Amino acid sequence: MKKELLFHPKSIAVIGASRESDKLGYLVLANIKRYGYKGKVFPVNPKADEILGYKCYQTVHHVPENIDMTVILIPAPFVPDIVEQCGIKGIKTVIIITAGFKEIGKEGKEMEDRIAEIAKNHNIRILGPNCLGFIDTYQKINASFAESMPEKYDVAVFSQSGAVCTAILDWANLNGIGFSRFVSLGNKSDINENDLLLEWENDKAARVILGYLEAISNGPEFIKRASKITEKKPLIILKAGITSAGAKAAASHTGSLAGSETAVSAAFKKAGIIRANSLEELFDYAKVFAYQPLIKGNKIAIVANAGGPAVMTTDAVIESKLELAKLSPITTAYLERKLPPIASKKNPIDVVGDAKADRYKVALEATLSDKGVDGVIVILTPQITTEVEETAKIIVTLSRRYNKPVVAAFMGGKRVEAGLKILNDNKIPAFNFPERAVRVLEAMYQYRNYLNERPNYKVAYFDKDKDRVSYLLGQAEAADIYNLGDSMDSLASKILKSYGIPVAKSIMAKTAEEAAEAAAVIGFPVVLKITSQDILHKTDVGGVKIGLNNKVEAKEAFKEIINSVNAKMPDARVEGITVYHMVRKGQEVIVGAKRDPVFGPVIVFGLGGIMVEVLHDVSFRIAPVSLREAEEMIEETKGSKLLKSFRGGEAYDIEAIADTILRLSHLMIDFSEIEEIDINPLRVNERNKGVIALDVKMVLKENKSD
Amino acid sequence: MKKELLFHPKSIAVIGASRESDKLGYLVLANIKRYGYKGKVFPVNPKADEILGYKCYQTVHHVPENIDMTVILIPAPFVPDIVEQCGIKGIKTVIIITAGFKEIGKEGKEMEDRIAEIAKNHNIRILGPNCLGFIDTYQKINASFAESMPEKYDVAVFSQSGAVCTAILDWANLNGIGFSRFVSLGNKSDINENDLLLEWENDKAARVILGYLEAISNGPEFIKRASKITEKKPLIILKAGITSAGAKAAASHTGSLAGSETAVSAAFKKAGIIRANSLEELFDYAKVFAYQPLIKGNKIAIVANAGGPAVMTTDAVIESKLELAKLSPITTAYLERKLPPIASKKNPIDVVGDAKADRYKVALEATLSDKGVDGVIVILTPQITTEVEETAKIIVTLSRRYNKPVVAAFMGGKRVEAGLKILNDNKIPAFNFPERAVRVLEAMYQYRNYLNERPNYKVAYFDKDKDRVSYLLGQAEAADIYNLGDSMDSLASKILKSYGIPVAKSIMAKTAEEAAEAAAVIGFPVVLKITSQDILHKTDVGGVKIGLNNKVEAKEAFKEIINSVNAKMPDARVEGITVYHMVRKGQEVIVGAKRDPVFGPVIVFGLGGIMVEVLHDVSFRIAPVSLREAEEMIEETKGSKLLKSFRGGEAYDIEAIADTILRLSHLMIDFSEIEEIDINPLRVNERNKGVIALDVKMVLKENKSD
pLDDT tens figures, B650-674: 789 999 999 999 999 999 999 999 9
Q: Does A308 touch chain B (CB under 8 A)?
A: yes
Cβ distance A639 to B610 less than 8 Å, yes or no, reads yes
The answer to whether A75 contacts chain B (CB < 8 Å) is no
| pLDDT surpasses 70 at B583 | yes
The shortest C-alpha distance from B248 to chain A (Å) reads 9
Which of residues A246, A268, A288 is at a domain's end?
A: A288
The Cα of A173 is separated from the nearest Cα of chain B by a number of Å equal to: 7
Q: How far is the C-alpha of B292 from the C-alpha of B299, rounded, in Å?
A: 16
**What CATH number is associated with residue A42?**
3.40.50.261
* A6 belongs to a structural domain: no
Note whether A474 contacts B: Cβ–Cβ < 8 A: no
Distance from CA of A365 to the nearest CA of B (A): 23
Please tell me what DSSP assigns to residue B483.
B
- Please give the Cα distance from B52 to B28 (Å, whole number): 11
CB contact under 8 A, A412 and B171: yes
Q: What number is the average pLDDT over the span B564-591?
A: 86
Angle between helices B219-232 and B193-200 (to 10 degrees): 30
Structural domain includes residue A401: yes
Domain match, A578 and A593 both? no
Residue B161 burial by CB count (10 A; 0-12/13-18/19+): exposed, middle or buried? buried
Higher pLDDT, B142 or B545: B142
Residue B259 has pLDDT above 60, yes or no: no
Question: Between these two residues, B694 and B297, which has the higher pLDDT value?
Answer: B297
Residue A461: Cβ within 10 Å count: 8
More confidently predicted of B701 and B242: B701
> A238 to chain B: which residues are within 8 Å by CB?
312
Distance (Å) from the C-alpha of residue A703 to the closest C-alpha of chain B?
32
Using CB atoms, which residue from B27, B414, B610 is nearest to A170? Answer: B414
d(CA A580, CA A583): 9
Enumerate residues 6+ apart whose C-beta is below 8 A from A581: A504, A505, A522, A523, A525, A526, A527
Q: Reply yes or no: is the peptide bond before residue A434 cis, omega within 30 of 0.
A: no
Same domain for A436 and A464? no
Report the candidate in A116, A252, A135 with the shortest Cα–Cα distance to residue A184: A135
* ipTM at complex level: 0.84
> A 500-539 residues with CB below 8 A of B?
537, 539
Strands (E), A39-136: 40-44, 50-51, 54-55, 69-72, 93-96, 125-127, 133-136
pLDDT of residue B174: 86
Residues of A with Cβ-Cβ distance to B611 under 8 angstroms? 610, 615
Give the CA count within 13 Å in the CB-facing half-sphere of B133: 27
Across the interface, of A614, A647, A648, the residue whose CB is closest to B642 is A614
Count CB atoms within 10 A of the CB of residue A426: 17
- Residue B613 in this model has a pLDDT that exceeds 70: no
pLDDT in tens, B668-693: 999 999 999 999 889 998 888 899 99
Residue B257 pLDDT greater than 60, yes or no: no
Share of chain B above pLDDT 70, in %: 94
CB proximity B160 to A under 8 Å: yes
Q: What are phi and psi of A276, to 5 degrees?
A: -90, 135
DSSP-derived pairing of the beta strands A133-136 and A141-144: antiparallel
Q: Which amino acid is at B510?
A: K
Choose the closest CB to A167 out of B161, B381, B641.
B381
- Which residues on A lie below 8 Å from B315 (Cβ)? 240-243
CB contact under 8 A, B647 and A540: yes
Distance from CA of residue B487 to its chain's centroid? 37
d(C-alpha A275, C-alpha A268), whole Å? 7
Tell if the CB–CB gap between A435 and B638 is shorter than 8 Å: no
- CB of B218 within 8 Å of any CB in chain A? no
A43: preceding bond cis by omega (within 30 degrees):
no
Q: What is the mean pLDDT of residues B422-447?
A: 96
Q: Is residue A2 included in any domain, yes or no?
A: no
CATH of the domain at B593: 3.30.470.20
> Over chain A, what is the mean pLDDT?
90
For B343, the 3-state DSSP assignment is coil
CB contacts, 8 Å: A433 with chain B:
278-280
Residue from B149, B610, B611, B645 whose CB has the most chain A CBs within 10 Å, to mutate: B610
- Give A613-682 as a DSSP string: HTT--EEEEESSPPHHHHHHHHHHSGGGGGTS-GGG-PPB-HHHHHHHHHHHHHHHHH-TTEEEEEEEEE
Minimum distance, in Å, between the CA of residue A3 and any CA atom of chain B: 31
* CA–CA distance, B94 with B47 (Å, rounded to integer): 22
At residue B423, what are phi and psi to the nearest 5 degrees? -65, -50
Q: How far is B84 from chain A (nearest CA, A)?
A: 27
Q: To the nearest whole percent, how much of chain B has pLDDT over 90?
A: 69
Given CB atoms, is A243 within the 8 Å cutoff of chain B?
Answer: yes
Global pTM reads 0.87
Other CB atoms within 10 Å distance of the CB of residue A552: 10
Which pLDDT band, with edges at 50, 70 and 90, does B479 fall under?
A: confident
pLDDT at position B252 is 30
Q: Do A190 and A235 share a structural domain?
A: yes
Check if the beta carbon of residue B99 is closer than 8 Å to that of residue A341.
no
Measured CA to CA, the distance from residue A259 to residue A603 in angstroms comes to 12
Instruction: Give the Cα separation of B538 and A610 in Å (integer).
Output: 24
Q: Does B246 touch chain A (CB under 8 A)?
A: no
* B382 to A411: CB separation less than 8 angstroms, yes or no: no
Residue B306 at interface with chain A, using a CB cutoff of 8 Å: yes
Q: Cβ A414–B174 below 8 Å, yes or no?
A: yes
For residue B470, which of B295, B624, B673 has the smallest C-alpha distance?
B673
Within a domain: residue A3? no
Name the residue with higher pLDDT: B6 or B368. Answer: B368
d(CA B592, CA B517): 32
Q: Give rounded-to-5 percent helix, strand, coil for chain A.
A: 40, 20, 35
Instruction: Give the type of residue at A535.
Output: I
> How much is the pLDDT for B463?
77
More confident residue, B445 or B503: B445
Domain boundary among A582, A615, A634: A582
Task: Say what the alpha-carbon torsion angle B93, B97, B99, B105 is, to the nearest 10 degrees.
Answer: 30
Q: Does A403 touch chain B (CB under 8 A)?
A: no
Spatial CA neighbour of A208 closest among A153, A170, A168: A153
The range of the structural domain enclosing residue B638 comes to: 457-504+583-706
Count the alpha carbons within 13 Å of B623 in the hemisphere toward its beta carbon: 27
Inter-chain residue contact B412 with A540, CB threshold 8 Å? no
CATH of the domain at B545: 3.30.1490.20
**Whether residue A599 is found in the same domain as residue A578:** no
d(CA B141, CA B146): 12
Cα separations in angstroms, A566 against A61, A556, A561, A569: 76, 15, 8, 6
Question: How many folded domains does chain A comprise?
Answer: 4
Cα distance between residue B175 and residue B453, in whole Å? 34
Q: Are residues B138 and B268 in the same domain?
A: yes
pLDDT of residue A706: 44
User: Is the per-residue pLDDT at B542 higher than 70?
Assistant: yes
pLDDT of B3 > 60? The answer is no
Task: State mean pLDDT over B112-123.
Answer: 95
Residue B2 resides in a domain: no
pLDDT at A4: 62
The predicted structure's pLDDT at residue B609: 67
Q: Which residues of chain A have pLDDT under 50?
A: 1-2, 245-259, 487-488, 704-706
Per-residue buried b or exposed e for B37-65, using 16+ beta carbons within 10 Å of the residue's own CB: beebbbbbbeebeebbebebbeebeebee
Same domain, A195 and A115: yes
Lowest mean pLDDT among B113-127, B213-227, B233-247, B587-601: B233-247
Q: What residue of B is the nearest CA neighbor of A186?
A: B308
Chain A CA closest to residue B343? A104
> Searching chain A, which residue's CA lies closest to the CA of residue B245?
A318
Angle between helices A466-478 and A654-670 in degrees, nearest 10: 60
Dihedral, CA of residue B402, residue B406, residue B411 and residue B414, to nearest 10:
70
Cβ–Cβ gap B384/A24 under 8 Å: yes
Residues of B in contact with A242 (CB under 8 A): 315
Per-residue pLDDT at B702:
82
Same domain, B632 and B706: yes
Dist. CA A700–CA A676, nearest whole Å:
7
- Whether residue A147 sits in one domain with residue A279: yes
Q: State the smallest CA–CA distance between residue B498 and chain A in angstroms.
A: 33
**Closest chain B residue to A617, measured at CA:** B615
Residue B241 touches chain A, beta carbons under 8 Å: yes
Strands A69-72 and A11-15, sheet pairing = parallel
Q: What is the pLDDT of residue B452?
A: 94
pLDDT at B68: 95
pLDDT value of residue B610:
65
Chain A nearest CA to B673, separation (Å):
31
Is B5 among the domain residues? no
> Which stretches does DSSP call E strand in B542-623?
544-548, 574-581, 587-596, 600-607, 618-622
pLDDT digits (tens, 9 = 90+) for B619-635: 999 999 999 999 999 99
Residues B365 and B486 placed together within one structural domain of the fold: no
Chain B nearest-CA residue for A282: B433
Q: Are residues A389 and A485 in the same domain?
A: no
CB atoms within 10 A of CB B336: 11
* Domain boundary residue, one of A259, A288, A317: A288
Task: Please indicate if any CB of chain B lies within 8 Å of the CB of A251.
Answer: no
Residue of B174, B312, B613 lying closest to A413 (CB–CB): B174
Question: Do the domain assignments include residue A1?
Answer: no
DSSP β-ladder status, B349-350 and B299-304 = parallel
Instruction: Give a yes or no: residue B633 inside a domain.
Output: yes
Q: What pLDDT, in 10s, does the model give residues B153-177?
A: 999 999 999 999 999 999 998 888 8
User: CA of A649 to nearest chain B CA: how many angstroms apart?
Assistant: 7
What pLDDT shows up at residue B70?
A: 97
Spatial contact of B493 and B503, defined as CB atoms under 8 Å apart: yes
The pLDDT tens digits of the residues spanning A365-414 come to 999 999 999 999 999 999 988 999 999 999 999 999 999 999 999 999 99
Task: Tell me what the pLDDT averaged over chain B comes to.
Answer: 90
pLDDT at residue B62 greater than cutoff 80: yes
Q: Do residues B402 and B369 make contact, with C-beta atoms less than 8 angstroms apart? A: yes
Residue B141 pLDDT greater than 90, yes or no: yes
Angstrom distance (rounded) from CA B313 to CA A167 = 14
Do A215 and A226 belong to one domain?
A: yes
Torsion angles phi and psi, residue B288, rounded to 5: -70, -40
Considering the domain architecture, whether residues B306 and B240 belong to the same structural domain is answered as no
B541 band by pLDDT with thresholds 50, 70 and 90: confident
Query: For residues B133 and B185, what is the distance between their CA atoms, to the nearest angstrom?
Result: 8
Report the pLDDT value the prediction gives residue A676, as an integer from 0 to 100: 93
Nearest to B318 among A103, A243, A614 (CB): A243
Interface of A with B in 14-33 (CB under 8 A): 24, 27
Q: Count of CB contacts below 8 A, A vs B?
A: 226
